[in-house]
Amino acid sequence: MNDALESALAALKKAKDRFADGIAELTEAQFVEPPNGWAPRDVLAHLIGWNFLTIEGVRAVLCGELPSYFADEANDYSAVNAESVARYDDTDRTRLLARLEEAHRQLVAVLRALRPEEWVHAGVRYRDWTITVVNSVEALRQDYEVHLKRIVEGRS
């Protein structure tokens, strides 16, 4: 792997770790009660799901196909997100954080198996942009950061 790819993986891990640390610091009530929107527990389930969706999306892009979750893009991915929240319906923070770690580990394993050119050059056009492996990983990194900021501000 080259330095740019290692840097992208390090940035993703850092965002995931900061998010997990933020979740770990919440009281039990803060973890399960929605302040204004999703409860942090729901956000954690959402991000577990997006790690797995990113794996599926990467595989689709490498086959020249649009990732299936884009079918829900017009709805701001509400059906996709609701499915993740329901699938990882648990209030045990330790189990959910372990599941997040496992989902991240699986994603990184898939990404490390790619050839460097697959990171950047494989892509699928969608509307006005090209979906690539690298921008899919970047979107997940940003999602961690946005949700952590909202949780810290008290609005998941």
- pLDDT tens per residue across span 1-54: 577 788 999 999 999 999 999 999 999 999 999 877 789 999 999 999 999 999
Give the domain extent around 113: 3-152
Residue 85's domain is classified under what CATH number? Answer: 1.20.120.450
Contact 85, 77 (CB under 8 A): no
| Radius of gyration in angstroms for the set of CA atoms belonging to the chain, rounded to a whole number | 16
Instruction: Say if residues 40 and 23 touch (Cβ distance below 8 Å).
Output: yes
Domain count, the chain: 1
pLDDT digits 0-9 by tens, 14-23? 999 999 999 9
Q: Residues near 15 by Cβ (< 8 Å), separated by ≥ 6?
A: 141, 142, 144, 145, 148
> Rounded distance, CA 92 to CA 6, Å?
32
Average pLDDT in the 116-123 region?
80
Q: DSSP letter string over 90-124?
A: ---HHHHHHHHHHHHHHHHHHHHTS-HHHHHT-EE
Name the pTM for this structure.
0.93
pLDDT tens-digit map of 57-115: 999 999 999 999 999 999 999 999 999 999 999 999 999 999 999 999 999 999 999 98
Task: Name every residue whose Cβ is closer than 8 Å to that of residue 115 and which is 6 or more positions away in sequence.
Answer: none
